[in-house]
Amino acid sequence: MIFHVLTIFPEMFHGFLNESILKKAQGNGVIAIHIHDIRDFSEDKHRKVDDTPYGGGAGMIFTPQPLFDCIEHVKKLAPKAPVIYMTPKGIKLTQSRAEKLNTNFDQYILICGHYEGIDQRVIDELVDLEYSIGDYVLSGGEIPAMAMIDVLSRLVPGTLGNDESHREETFSKRLDRKKEYPHYTKPADFRGMKVPDVLLNGHHAEIEKWRRGQLK
């Protein structure tokens, strides 16, 4: 799976991409993540990418030129990838929607907005999908893009140590899109707090029944 991220803050992704599961997945060739600095495509000598909104109002808007040029450049590298704009106005990213994306695409172009948003002409002409990670406003699209990369990468075989891990966790289809059951590990008794007996008896059918009963 390949991700192309368009941002004006590429350094925000350095730590995210160089730790834990994503670092291993990239090292194993399971996923590839390319960061593109939108400012590199600005025709302004000061690398400016924003301007005041027509009609007045607070804040600044991404100008169309740098985004058009950046997206068109990346589309040549990934012609079949959908262009996804991370915005609070988008549809909410859920586990089931992530799984559907995973079945349809293996490459993605993610636009990280900033300021008050991006020029509508970019959305009308070049954006295929708009996604949100919740009903709240963040300072930019970088964190939502990281969330999308993480959730989609987990679905790719070889990303997790055990490919069954994502099949039976919170909001997975196997758990009927419900929240996962509680987990326990050693010791069986910690400060008087005991692990449920059913998990200690080794009876798989009873354990499965208990776990199903704990779903919310």
Per-domain boundaries in the chain: 2-153, 181-216
Q: What CATH number should be reported for the domain whose range is 2-153?
A: 3.40.1280.10
Count Cβ atoms within 10 A of the Cβ of residue 7 and give its class: 0-12 exposed, 13-18 middle, 19 or more buried.
buried
Pairing of strands 189-190, 107-112: unpaired
Are 2-153 and 181-216 equal in CATH topology? no
| Model pLDDT, residue 163 | 59
pTM for the whole thing?
Answer: 0.87
3-state secondary structure of 108: strand
What is the rounded distance in angstroms from the CA atom of residue 175 to the CA atom of residue 178?
A: 6
Per-residue pLDDT of the chain (216 residues; tens, 9 = 90+): 999 999 999 999 999 999 989 999 999 999 999 999 999 999 999 999 999 999 998 899 999 999 999 999 999 999 999 999 999 999 999 999 999 999 999 999 999 998 899 999 999 999 999 999 999 999 999 999 999 999 999 999 999 876 555 555 655 555 666 778 899 999 999 999 999 999 999 899 999 999 989 988
| Model pLDDT, residue 22 | 95
In this structure, the number of other CB atoms found within 10 A of the CB of residue 180 comes to: 15
What is the rounded distance in angstroms from the CA atom of residue 16 to the CA atom of residue 32?
A: 13
| Model pLDDT, residue 58 | 86
Beta bridge partners of 110: 5, 84
| Model pLDDT, residue 172 | 58
Quote the CATH superfamily of domain 181-216: tRNA(m1g37)methyltransferase, domain 2 (1.10.1270.20)
3-state secondary structure of 135: coil
Q: Which two tokens stand for residue 173?
A: 């289809």
